[in-house]
């Protein structure tokens, strides 16, 4: 491999000749060979850096044109556009396990943009610190990248995936109107419910999760940029924080604002904790929904068997013909991962000491993984499971009329304790509720038929 010599404030470093990164990025590559190839800084963060560096150049060009000249501005913007597009991803090699402030990832962006921008300009035009990092610090750029990335993934991927599942459940509610089945509590028989009512519970859970995520977005749209090193805004011109937030808004089409208190913005990560709490709530509901579906589809002969789900692949290497609820299992595993990520995020956010949190890379790595996994699994869950759910009407009817908890309908007529005796006698002797009730002398057969209508109990 061919190398070129780059230098920073600590001296000279050999850098692969074909890469745009510089000395500080190379030092990080050499000093943190942890999880290489597996836990690279998320590409959503790389893209967010492209956005914020372009926005910073826009603000600096307006506020400090004598330093951010038109030529430098054009070169930085052109390089940032390539970063945003992802075409320069191979020039961002750093792993999550680096400095807790994300300084090396900020410098990675500065060096790549400076070298690529200079290449576009046709001469050594840009310095990574003086030009690309103008009016900024790693301490305010990395928190800003975190918020930009979080907002974009929630709005562009997670919420649309929720909407698709909600629409699917709405369709299933309409298609299955009028079907009455047995309800269940504590995994035991309960009073009747309509299948549409059961589905509506799933749908409403997702609608509420969407509301919670939407509620978390306004705080995430407050940006730390402009606080520089410790929140005072040292070396940033007056108005830079407002101008850069407006530029980020123009570039993303979202309404970002400057954080009103930069000391809070640099050290506290409560906005991300709150937003991930909404993702955890979504994960918890998806766990419940997926479990309900695989319980209801269990069998095919020895389980509940009240619904049919798509058969996607063979389920066993030894049992021929076995098909398993694999989509449900994938969803529940994602839910477990998200819940684990929430613990990591909460602990990382608690480690803000004095003027800076230094657990930011691991925090955003887990946040973005949760959002990505949830969006992906909701898509596959919809396509390969939910969209193909069908009721087993015969089994639902059979289970409904075999349920002892239908005895609840008799409470107003024979009282709770007598109704309990009817249920226990029917269960003990394996007879119908009607037979037990008549045998105990609580109602005549005719009166039982008059008051006992399971389909009307919903």
Sign, CA dihedral 108-76-85-272, equals: positive
Residue 352 has what pLDDT?
A: 87
| Cβ neighbours of residue 78 closer than 8 Å, sequence gap 6 or more | 117, 120
Q: Rounded to whole angstroms, how far apart are CA atoms 117 and 129? A: 14
Tokens of 353: 């000491």
Q: Which fold has domain 147-221+261-394?
A: Fumarase C; Chain A, domain 2 (1.20.200)
Sequence-separated contacts (24+) of 339-347 with Cβ below 8 Å: 339/280, 339/283, 339/284, 341/276, 341/366, 341/367, 341/369, 341/370, 342/276, 342/277, 342/279, 342/280, 342/370, 345/269, 345/272, 345/273, 345/276, 346/273
Instruction: Name every residue whose Cβ is closer than 8 Å to that of residue 436 and which is 6 or more positions away in sequence.
Output: 422, 423, 425, 426, 429
**Contact indicator for 367, 158 with CB cutoff of 8 Å:** no
- What tokens does 199 get? 């589905």
pLDDT in tens, the chain (458 residues): 899 999 999 999 999 999 999 999 999 999 999 988 889 999 999 999 999 999 999 999 999 999 999 999 999 999 999 999 999 999 999 999 999 999 999 999 999 999 999 999 999 999 999 999 999 999 999 999 999 999 999 999 999 999 999 999 999 999 999 999 999 999 999 999 999 999 999 999 999 999 999 999 999 999 999 999 999 999 999 999 999 999 999 999 999 999 999 999 999 999 999 999 999 999 999 999 999 999 999 999 999 999 999 999 998 899 999 999 999 999 999 999 999 999 999 999 999 899 999 999 999 999 999 999 999 999 999 999 999 999 999 999 999 999 999 999 999 999 999 999 999 999 999 999 999 999 999 999 999 999 999 888 89
Check if 316 is active-site: yes
Q: Which listed residue (85, 87, 90, 316) is catalytic? A: 316
d(CA 422, CA 428) in angstroms, rounded, equals 10
- SS3 of residue 445 by DSSP: helix
User: Which class in CATH covers the domain with range 3-134?
Assistant: mainly alpha
3-state helix, strand, coil in the chain (%, to 5): 65, 10, 30
Residues whose CB falls within 8 Å of the CB of residue 245, separated by 6 or more in sequence, listed in order: 223, 225, 226, 256, 257, 258
pLDDT at 198: 98
Q: What is the pLDDT of residue 1?
A: 83
Beta-carbon count within 10 A of 97 CB:
16
Please state which of the four CATH numbers 1.10.40.30, 1.20.120.160, 1.10.10.10, 3.40.640.10 is assigned to the domain occupying 403-456.
1.10.40.30
Is residue 6 a contact partner of residue 12, using CB atoms and an 8 Å limit?
yes
Q: How many residues does the chain have?
A: 458
Domain residue limits, the chain: 3-134, 147-221+261-394, 403-456
Q: How many CB atoms lie within 10 A of CB 268?
A: 18
CA 412 to chain centre: 48
Q: How far apart are CA 26 and CA 248, in angstroms?
A: 29
Residues near 38 by beta carbon (within 8 Å), at least 6 away in sequence: none
According to DSSP, residue 21 is labeled -
Is 127 labeled as catalytic in the residue annotation? no
Q: Where are the beta strands (DSSP E) in 219-355?
A: 222-223, 257-258, 307-308, 352-353
């Amino acid at each position: 491999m061919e190398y070129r010599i780059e230098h920073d404030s600590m001296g000279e470093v050999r850098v692969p000749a074909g890469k745009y990164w510089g000395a500080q990025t190379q030092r990080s590559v050499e000093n943190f060979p942890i999880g290489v190839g597996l836990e690279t800084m998320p590409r959503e963060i790389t893209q967010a850096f492209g956005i914020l560096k372009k926005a910073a150049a826009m603000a600096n060009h307006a506020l400090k044109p004598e330093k951010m000249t038109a030529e430098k501005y054009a070169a930085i913007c052109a390089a940032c556009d390539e970063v945003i597009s992802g075409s320069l991803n191979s020039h961002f090699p750093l792993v999550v396990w680096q400095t807790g402030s994300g300084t090396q990832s900020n410098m990675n962006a500065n060096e790549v943009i400076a070298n690529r921008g200079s290449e576009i300009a046709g001469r050594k035009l840009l310095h990574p610190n003086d030009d690309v990092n103008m009016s900024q610090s790693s301490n305010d750029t990395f928190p800003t990248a975190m918020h930009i990335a979080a907002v974009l993934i929630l709005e562009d991927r997670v919420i649309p995936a929720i909407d698709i599942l909600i629409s699917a459940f709405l369709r299933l509610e309409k298609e299955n109107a009028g079907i009455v089945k047995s309800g269940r509590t504590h995994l035991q028989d309960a009073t009747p419910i309509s299948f549409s009512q059961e589905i509506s519970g799933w749908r409403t859970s997702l609608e509420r999760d969407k509301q919670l995520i939407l509620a978390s977005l306004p705080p995430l749209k407050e940006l730390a940029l402009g606080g520089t090193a410790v929140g005072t805004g040292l070396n940033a011109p007056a108005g830079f924080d407002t101008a850069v937030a407006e530029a980020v808004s123009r570039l993303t089409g979202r309404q970002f604002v400057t954080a009103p208190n930069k000391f809070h913005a640099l050290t506290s990560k409560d906005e991300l904790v709150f937003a991930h709490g909404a993702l955890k709530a979504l994960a918890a509901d998806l766990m419940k929904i997926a479990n309900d579906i695989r319980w209801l589809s269990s069998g095919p002969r020895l389980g509940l068997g009240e619904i049919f789900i798509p058969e996607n692949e063979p389920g066993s290497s030894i049992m021929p013909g076995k098909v398993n609820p694999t989509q449900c299992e994938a969803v529940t595993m994602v839910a477990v991962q998200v819940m684990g990520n929430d613990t990591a995020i909460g602990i990382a956010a608690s480690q803000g000491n004095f003027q800076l949190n230094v657990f930011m890379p691991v925090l955003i790595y887990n946040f973005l993984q949760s959002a990505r996994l949830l969006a992906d699994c909701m898509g596959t869950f919809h396509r390969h499971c939910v969209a193909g759910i069908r009721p087993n009407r015969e089994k639902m009817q059979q289970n409904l009329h075999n349920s002892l908890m239908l005895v609840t309908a008799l409470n107003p007529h024979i009282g709770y304790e007598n109704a309990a005796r009817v249920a226990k006698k029917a269960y003990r002797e394996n007879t119908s509720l009607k037979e037990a009730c008549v045998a105990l002398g609580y109602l005549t057969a005719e009166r039982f038929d008059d008051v006992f209508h399971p389909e009307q109990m919903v």
